[in-house]
Amino acid sequence: MSTKAFASQADLEEKKVSFTKLSEHAYAYTAEGDPNTGIVIGDDAVMVIDTQATPVMAQDVIRRIREVTDKPIKYVVLSHYHAVRVLGASAYQPEHIIASEDTLSLIKERGEQDKASEIGRFPRLFRNVESVPAGLTWPTLTFTGRMTLWLGQLEVQLMQLGRGHTKGDTVVWLPQERILFSGDLVEFDATPYAGDAYFGDWPQTLDNIAALHPVKLVPGRGAALQNETEVAAGLAGTRSFIADVFANVKAGAAAGKDLKTVYRDTVAAVRPKYGHWVIFDHCMPFDITRAYDEATQHRDPRIWTAERDIEMWKALET
């Protein structure tokens, strides 16, 4: 095997956390390209969007929430099923954990394998992993398409605007303030992870987000986007990455090239434009493997296991 460390096992440097106020009701917990958490503060309750990877890491989110409000944290929303987004949920002791029905189906189908896979890929993001309760994080409320909650006078819409990062992606929209929490459908200066993605659908889903005309947006990774120009840049960057990767992979597959050749060609083609983005080298083997699957024979993403991760990495990186 080459000397290139698997996934992000060599990524040990702590990131600086920012807690950014976007409005009276919305905050973003961001950390230089690590997974973000969104916070909505209503009249009578708090909603947390994506939990951090472990309960110990979630305690830092709670500490910052408590610096600005003492209202109870009643709701945790899972933008999708990935372990790094959901395993900290127990720390908040919410009344309800909310997810789309599609996300619930993915937890049932592949939650255990995904948990083992992600912990192996990115140890730093699962600090104090022993604090995660046994079993999986299960939603207590699910919805299909759209769900509206009122936190007092504050309207909060949970919406599925299409498949992209996963089939269950949920965004949280504050229509009165035009603030959107996108989960990993949108990234900013961070490489989209697309190992469970629908490359063909993702650009249209981004167009559906743009059609809401958000004035602020909290991406899945990267800094909070605080005006319409920044929002447009985040959407355009994510869209172009997905389109460029898929176009290169589809062309290679159509030419009859094998996955390893397509991988090398695609990384070489897109590195000049995107190689400086956070976790580029981590994501590309997973992204291109999924894109090749979608371009050839697997409409739906195959399950990643810890074993499949390592086999894929060895096949592409040696």
Please give the model's pTM, rounded to 2 decimal places.
Answer: 0.95
Q: Supply the pLDDT for residue 9.
A: 55
Q: Where are the domains of the chain?
A: 18-241
Give the DSSP letter string of the chain: --SSPSTTTT-------EEEE-SSSEEEEEETTEEEEEEEE-SS-EEEES--SSHHHHHHHHHHHHTT--S-EEEEE-SS--HHHHTTGGGG--SEEEEEHHHHHHHHHHHHHHHHHHHHH-GGGGTTGGGSPSS----SEEESSEEEEEETTEEEEEE----SSSTT--EEEETTTTEEEEEEEEESSBPPP-TT--TTTHHHHHHHHHTT--SEEEEEESSPB-SHHHHHHHHHHHHHHHHHHHHHHHHHHHTT--HHHHHHHHHHHHHHHHTTSBTHHHHHHHHHHHHHHHHHT-SSPPPP-HHHHHHHHHHHH-
- What angle, rounded to 10 degrees, do the helices at 259-274 and 306-317 form? 80
What DSSP assignment string belongs to 68-130?
T--S-EEEEE-SS--HHHHTTGGGG--SEEEEEHHHHHHHHHHHHHHHHHHHHH-GGGGTTGG
How far, in Å, CA of 256 to CA of 253, rounded? 5
64-78 burial code (b ≥16 CB/10 A, e <16):
bbeeeeebebbbbbb
Tell me which residue has tokens 């995660």: 132
Q: Could you tell me the mean pLDDT of each successive run of 10 residues in the chain, 318 residues long?
A: 54 81 98 94 98 94 98 98 96 98 98 92 85 93 98 98 98 98 97 98 98 98 97 98 98 97 98 96 96 97 94 90
What pLDDT is attached to residue 221? 97
State the fold for domain 18-241: Metallo-beta-lactamase; Chain A (3.60.15)
Give the bridge partners for 190, in sequence order: 278
**Is residue 282 a contact partner of residue 191, using CB atoms and an 8 Å limit?**
yes
Q: How far apart are CA 206 and CA 21, in angstroms?
A: 24
- Both structure tokens of 14: 């702590």
pLDDT of the residue at 2: 44
pLDDT of res. 209: 98
